[in-house]
């Protein structure tokens, strides 16, 4: 236990061995960043300011709007791949900062935690991290919140065990240090781009649907049509009312009895926390640390990496997100040039060339990797 570890260090090792070595062993200045880490950092900063009582609820959206305006006016700004991705991302977070549910005024933000894991070889490693938001709910459960600004497709049931490692490690830390029973720890992702829509069915029962925030009313159009057709309103008025509601992305213009049948909340993804899973996680991370130490002991690291992990220009992470492979150093060495036009030059007539299913595929892949690295 001769060093303090962070989960981001293990994540970087998993994502790209080159990036890990360049950052932690060669100490290269690769802090180039990208649009997702840039936006994500601002998002987390605002939530920290709010829960530290440095800004009020109404200031969340105001501060975010000023940040976006400043970013858009900067000619050297980080770019999204396409206008479509940019618009959806910004609109969703606009809505989040205007409508997010406040946890509790007693919530603690950036709570430092410490965990110790042990590998199969008996090597112990100390991890230190920071919980985005932590509080105790009305049932006495310790609730750990991790904010995510990425797509929910990256958090499918199959991917969740991998995606939740950091958050589960923090739950392990609270259990080790404070003795909090695992069944009294609730860990969840706050998926900022989405909201859970609650709507009343015709049989009187409530149901939920998860939607992107900026278009949640549009996604309820057919349900609104069904409900409004049962009123005395004429078809033209109904259509106009629904169009207005969808345009405004709220139901303020609809009859009260219709509005009362819909409401939205933050969309949370719950993480199962149990003792058996924690033991497996501790062993997995401990063994991964053993791998990292072994890699660090290789004498000719550059030769080893070149042979074992060659650059893949068709890999979206290597080409777009890896700090090492997108660095000026690497591009100059390999004589590489960017081949996508700047986002600001993509108008409505040309954006389609970079849209459609490829947008979805790249957005989801980007989100998955960015969450792993920048959590």
pLDDT in tens, 62-118: 999 999 999 999 999 999 989 999 999 999 999 999 999 988 778 999 999 999 999
Q: Which of 134-148, 333-347, 358-372 has the lowest mean pLDDT?
A: 358-372
Question: What pLDDT, on the 0 to 100 scale, is given for residue 103?
Answer: 80
Question: What pLDDT, on the 0 to 100 scale, is given for residue 374?
Answer: 40
Q: Which of 97-101, 133-137, 330-334, 364-368 has the lowest mean pLDDT?
A: 364-368
Q: Which of 216-225, 252-261, 317-326 has the lowest mean pLDDT?
A: 317-326
* 102 or 219, which is more confident: 219
Distance CA 183, CA 277 (A): 12
Per-residue pLDDT at 326 exceeds 90? no
Strand, coil or helix: 334? helix
Strand, coil or helix: 121? coil
Question: What pLDDT, on the 0 to 100 scale, is given for residue 31?
Answer: 66
Task: Read off the pLDDT band of 322 (50, 70, 90).
Answer: confident
Per-residue pLDDT at 341 exceeds 50? no
Per-residue pLDDT at 369 exceeds 60? no
Do residues 107 and 271 lie in contact, with contact meaning Cβ atoms separated by under 8 Å? no
Question: What pLDDT, on the 0 to 100 scale, is given for residue 321?
Answer: 79
Q: For the chain, what is the total number of helices (H) and then of strands (E)?
A: 15, 7
Distance CA 263, CA 72 (A): 32
Six token digits for residue 91: 């609109």
Task: Read off the pLDDT band of 313 (50, 70, 90).
Answer: confident
Do residues 305 and 22 lie in contact, with contact meaning Cβ atoms separated by under 8 Å? no
Of 45, 86, 117, nearest to 363 (Cα)? 86
Per-residue pLDDT at 204 exceeds 50? yes
Task: Read off the pLDDT band of 355 (50, 70, 90).
Answer: very low
Distance CA 223, CA 270 (A): 27
Per-residue pLDDT at 304 exceeds 90? yes
Question: What pLDDT, on the 0 to 100 scale, is given for residue 338?
Answer: 58
- Across residues 245-262, what is the average pLDDT? 97
Distance CA 200, CA 177 (A): 44
Alpha helices in 73-148 (DSSP H): 83-99
Distance CA 330, CA 311 (A): 10
Q: What is the pTM of this model?
A: 0.84
Question: What pLDDT, on the 0 to 100 scale, is given for residue 346?
Answer: 39
Q: Which of 63-67, 234-238, 331-335 has the lowest mean pLDDT?
A: 331-335
Question: What pLDDT, on the 0 to 100 scale, is given for residue 106?
Answer: 83
- Across residues 156-170, what is the average pLDDT? 94
Question: What pLDDT, on the 0 to 100 scale, is given for residue 230?
Answer: 94
Beta strand pairing call for 124-136 and 4-5 = parallel
Strand, coil or helix: 271? strand
Distance CA 94, CA 69 (A): 12
Per-residue pLDDT at 367 exceeds 70? no
Question: What pLDDT, on the 0 to 100 scale, is given for residue 361?
Answer: 39
Per-residue pLDDT at 2 exceeds 80? no
Provide the residue count of the chain.
Answer: 375
Provide the mean pLDDT of the chain.
Answer: 88
């Amino acid at each position: 236990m001769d060093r303090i570890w962070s989960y981001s260090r293990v994540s970087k090792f998993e994502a790209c061995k080159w990036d890990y070595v360049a950052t932690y062993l060669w100490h290269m200045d690769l802090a180039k960043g990208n649009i997702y880490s840039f936006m994500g950092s601002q998002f987390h900063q605002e939530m920290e300011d709010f829960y530290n009582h440095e800004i009020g609820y109404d200031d969340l959206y105001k501060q975010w709007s000023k940040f976006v305006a400043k970013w858009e006016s900067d000619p050297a700004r980080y770019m999204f791949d396409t206008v479509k991705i940019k618009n959806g991302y910004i609109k969703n977070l606009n809505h989040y900062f205007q409508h997010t549910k406040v946890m509790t005024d007693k919530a603690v933000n950036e709570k430092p935690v410490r965990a110790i894991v042990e590998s199969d070889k008996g090597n112990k490693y100390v991890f230190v991290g920071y919980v985005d938001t932590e509080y105790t709910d009305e049932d006495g459960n310790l609730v750990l919140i991790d904010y995510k600004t990425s797509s929910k497709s990256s958090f499918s049931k199959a991917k969740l065990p991998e995606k939740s490692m950091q958050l589960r490690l923090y739950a392990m830390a609270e259990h080790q240090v404070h003795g909090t029973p695992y069944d009294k720890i609730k860990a969840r992702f706050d998926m900022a781009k989405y909201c859970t829509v609650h709507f009343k069915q015709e049989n009187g029962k409530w149901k939920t649907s998860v939607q992107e925030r900026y278009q949640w009313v549009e996604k309820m159009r057919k349900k609104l049509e069904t409900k409004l057709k049962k009123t005395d309103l004429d078809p033209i008025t109904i259509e106009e009312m629904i169009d207005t509601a969808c345009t405004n992305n709220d139901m303020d213009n609809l009859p009260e009895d219709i509005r009362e049948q819909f409401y939205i909340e933050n969309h949370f993804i719950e993480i199962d926390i149990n003792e058996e899973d924690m033991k497996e996680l501790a062993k997995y991370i401990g063994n991964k640390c053993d791998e990292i130490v072994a890699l660090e002991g290789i004498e000719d690291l550059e030769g080893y990496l070149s042979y074992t992990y060659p650059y893949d220009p068709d890999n979206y992470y290597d080409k777009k997100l890896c700090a090492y492979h997108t660095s000026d150093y690497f591009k100059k060495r390999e004589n590489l040039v960017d081949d996508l036009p700047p986002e600001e030059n993509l108008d409505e007539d040309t954006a389609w060339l970079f849209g459609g299913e490829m947008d979805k595929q790249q957005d989801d892949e980007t989100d998955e990797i960015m969450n792993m690295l920048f959590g």
